Copies of this chain bind each other. A is one copy, B any other.
Amino acid sequence: MIVVMKSGATEAQVQSTVARVEKMGLKANVIVGTERTVVAVVGDERVLDAPSLEAGDGVAEVMPVVAKYKLASREVRPESSVITVGGFQAGGGHLGVAAGPCSVENEEQIVEVAKAVKAAGATGLRGGAFKPRTSPYSFQGLKEDGLKMLATARDETGLAVFTEVMSPEEVDLVAKYADVLQIGARNMQNYRLLEAVGRCDKAVLLKRGPSATMDEFLLAAEYILDGGNERVMLCERGIRTFEAHTRFTLPLASVPYLHSKSHLPVIIDPSHGTGHTYMVHDMAVAAVAAGADGLIIEVHPDPPNAASDGYQCQDYAQFENTMRRIQKVQKALTD
């Protein structure tokens, strides 16, 4: 950590900063510059509330040098993690694709979708039973009935079931039926929920919050890892920016960034990441080209009549086309 003193900071202010650093059990190196004095702190800065040093007299700014996450970090674990859930594999050169409707609507539908996406090459089935909805008046999902239908679809296809869990007290119930617990973007910093899935033996797909920084995202993963659950996948699903022609802005540079900082697999969601069906194909293919370890895509047999998210679902023909293209691109990358 680097503490930058204000221009004109007194020697006493510098010494008081040094004293506070030493009180925290760390070592302070004072460097007197032409215009500013800086105090370089040596030791494990994760133990301290770094920004609080900023409150000291004469301190201009505190710049952390080391990220706070450890278990999620590639420095701690250099080899890429591979997450395997039945036939679904992501990471270390494996590309896992989960596809399916936004909401489970009925058993017949989810079984049919599962068969269709499997035939196209998917190894995971996504589908919402507990739906987080912006409005209390919108359809909230089929709940446990939906979970049972997902389990039936898995039994018939062997696909790994991905579904969202919204609350700590629902973790056991959802874990009873699902293979991968999805933490939605709105819950990325719901720490009780992260702790609860951290104690669970199911793999987790952690979606990035739409305004989360990368450090916040990796620290949310750290909560789960720290709870003892090592099977975490990081899902980039778009951030909130001034762009209005997409529902969210999908920054594919998250793939190389996260790969450089973390060993965890990176999954891209081109459906929420664009919010418009006509963009999903191009962004799915681009995500694979950027090195993503997996995709999660909304697919519905009849998007205009979907219970939710129809505007960003692919239909079967679109999804098949996307899968064909992805397989070719993947081959082009490894040739």
| Known contacts A47-B137, A242-B211, A304-B56; A329 and B333 CB within 8 A of each other | yes
Decide if A306 is an interface residue (CB 8 Å cutoff): yes
- Is A147 an interface residue, CB under 8 A from the partner? no
Contacts of A32 in B (CB 8 A): 42
**Size class of the contact patch on chain A:** 35 or more
| Cα–Cα distance between A38 and B40 once the two chains are bound (Å) | 8
**A253 x B274 contact (CB < 8 A):** yes
Complex formed: what's the CA distance from A96 to B288 in Å?
22
Say whether A230 faces chain B, with CB atoms less than 8 Å apart.
Answer: no
CA distance A134 to B211 in the complex (A): 13
Question: A44 — which chain B residues lie within 8 A by C-beta?
Answer: 34-35
Ordered nearest first, which 6 A-B pairs have the shortest CB separation?
A211-B211, A289-B289, A55-B310, A186-B189, A52-B310, A54-B311
Between A and B, 25 residue pairs with Cβ closer than 8 Å are A2-B38, A2-B40, A29-B31, A31-B40, A46-B137, A51-B309, A52-B311, A53-B304, A132-B189, A135-B222, A136-B222, A166-B192, A167-B167, A187-B189, A246-B253, A249-B253, A252-B282, A253-B273, A256-B278, A260-B278, A285-B290, A286-B290, A289-B290, A328-B333, A332-B332
